[in-house]
Amino acid sequence: MYIYRLLGPEEKIVYLTRMHVITFLPTVIIFVAAFLAWCFLPDVASLREPIFRGLRFFNLATLALLLGGVVSGIRCAIDYFTSVYVVTNQRVFMKRGWLVRRVVEVFLSRIEGITLRQSFLGQLFNYATVEVIGTGGTSDFYLDVPNPEAFHRVVQQQMPTHRATSA
């Protein structure tokens, strides 16, 4: 795995997670819409007339939604399987991307704070956007982090000031 090549000689992974499966929610919504279009649009009388090469509106609408769902599913799968959030004994980092890779890291000694941004759905399904605030006011956003309280707790436990006071 790519992240193991990023580790320093004395660095150990303490916490590792992927994006929450809620990432696939747009895909599910599109497929449900395609199913509903396939079930209910044929009942609308004005939509029964062929509009393009013998195809009816509901056929084209359902096909468009299915294609949109497939494209959305591929995009979501790439995001999900190529995103990793890692806390080590020295830093916090995020790796995202497949063809174009993006790695963001903050050393634990440079972290000033962590903010959890959790919507109603996030509270319901236990995920959040985690903002890691570094010295100088820099911010890195970690999207759709599952179990954000655990992520936050592990980062706090690994920070040098916490280790010094608990030793």
Residue 167 pLDDT greater than 70, yes or no = no
Q: Do residues 74 and 120 share a domain?
A: no
Of 10-19, 141-150, 156-165, which range is least confident? 156-165
CB neighbour class for 109 (10 Å; exposed up to 12, middle 13-18, buried from 19): exposed
Q: Do residues 15 and 38 share a domain?
A: no
Q: Do residues 134 and 96 share a domain?
A: yes
Confidence of residue 31 (pLDDT cuts 50, 70, 90): very high
Q: Do residues 89 and 162 share a domain?
A: yes
Q: Do residues 148 and 67 share a domain?
A: no
User: Could you read off the pLDDT of 96-132 as tens digits, one per residue?
Assistant: 988 888 888 999 999 998 999 999 999 999 999 999 9
Residue 6 vs residue 165, higher pLDDT: 6
The predicted model gives 7-30 an average pLDDT of 93
